[in-house]
Amino acid sequence: MAQEQFNIYQINVNVNSSLYEERLVVITKGQSLEYTKTLSLVVGIDLSNNNLSGEFPQEITKLFGLVVLNLSRNHITGQIPENISMLRQLSSLDLSSNKLSGTIPSSMASLSFLSYLNLSNNNFYGKIPFIGQMTTFTELAFVGNPDLCGAPLATKCQNEDPNKRQSVVSDKNDGGYIDQWFY
């Protein structure tokens, strides 16, 4: 699994020349990035392992430039908001080892930059929306949620025909057929 670290922050102040220098090293997805003059470009929140509790903060979905969000290993409850898809720049989302519940929002499939996802060890239930960007994640992103089902997990959902790859629905407008995956 990818390891993320965001905790190296250094400020150098030279008293003799009044020099002030900020330096932040962000290590994420195996890359080490150093920010000095571009510190404002850091667009990640890592509040992991902080004993935080309460509902998932809805306000986070208004941080449109957010690239990395790590709230793992806390006691956060509630559901992932459907409007999480507003975080169009999100590249890494780790909500593992919390007490989150509900279904995984289908809107997450539209997060086209999302390359790391960890929702493991929560209380999610229902079928994983295995469409769009969500098809790029392995079962490791979802393990530890005993009531989740569907691909990529081995657990099939009730009323799911394992031999049926795509279902076809009738289009009410012209009587034709359209593959359901298109929706």
Q: How confident is the model at residue 141, as a pLDDT?
A: 97
Q: How confident is the model at residue 103, as a pLDDT?
A: 97
Q: List the pLDDT tens digit at each of the 183 positions of the chain.
A: 444 444 444 444 455 655 556 777 776 666 777 777 666 666 888 889 999 999 999 999 998 889 999 999 999 999 999 999 999 999 999 999 999 999 999 999 999 999 999 999 999 999 999 999 999 999 999 999 999 999 999 999 987 655 544 443 444 444 444 444 444
The verdict on residue 62 lying in a domain is yes
Q: How confident is the model at residue 159, as a pLDDT?
A: 76
The number of residues making up the chain comes to 183
The verdict on residue 86 lying in a domain is yes
**CATH code assigned at 156:** 3.80.10.10
Q: How confident is the model at residue 28, as a pLDDT?
A: 65
3-state secondary structure of 41: helix
Domain hosting 122: range is 43-182
The verdict on residue 22 lying in a domain is no
The verdict on residue 18 lying in a domain is no
Q: How confident is the model at residue 93, as a pLDDT?
A: 96
The verdict on residue 96 lying in a domain is yes
The verdict on residue 170 lying in a domain is yes
Question: Rounded to 5 degrees, what angle do the CA atoms 95, 64, 58 make?
Answer: 50
Number of H helices, E strands in the chain: 0, 14
Instruction: Count how many domains the chain has.
Output: 1
Listed residue (81, 98, 166, 163) closest to 131, CA to CA: 166
Check: CB of residue 118 under 8 Å from CB of residue 95. Answer: yes
